[in-house]
């Protein structure tokens, strides 16, 4: 259950909504063509968490050059180090 690659997460998108059983949650892939620049607060398992804000269209960018590995990843900090840093 603690495995981040568990099958329950893999099927969550197709399992249906617990709040609205009749809601269509099917995935429809779209053709890649435009690049949008967005701001976001957090990523979790390659998905945006919370709201994402559209900033602008990027006609100067090729969609194939926009990848997850380009995102800056913050270095993990322990809670103790975080609190100590806040107090100093």
Express each pLDDT in 30-57 by its tens digit.
Answer: 888 999 999 988 888 778 888 899 999 9
Express each pLDDT in 49-80 by its tens digit.
Answer: 888 999 999 999 999 998 888 887 777 888 88
| pLDDT band of 23, cuts 50, 70, 90 | confident
Give 39's strand partners: 53
Is 0.95 topped by the overall pTM? no
Domain interval for residue 56? 7-87
Q: Output the six-digit token pair for 59.
A: 């006609």
Q: Contact at 8 Å (CB) between 54 and 38?
A: yes
In a domain, 55, yes or no: yes
In a domain, 42, yes or no: yes
In a domain, 27, yes or no: yes
In a domain, 1, yes or no: no
In a domain, 2, yes or no: no
Structural domains counted in the chain: 1
In a domain, 76, yes or no: yes
């Amino acid at each position: 259950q603690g495995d981040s690659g568990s099958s329950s997460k893999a099927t969550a998108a197709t399992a249906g909504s617990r709040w609205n059983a009749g809601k269509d949650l099917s995935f429809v892939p779209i053709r890649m063509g435009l690049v949008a620049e967005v701001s976001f607060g957090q990523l979790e398992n390659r998905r945006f968490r919370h709201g994402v804000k559209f900033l602008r269209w990027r006609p100067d960018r090729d969609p194939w050059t926009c990848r997850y590995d380009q995102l800056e990843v913050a270095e993990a900090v322990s809670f103790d180090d975080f609190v100590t840093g806040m107090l100093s």
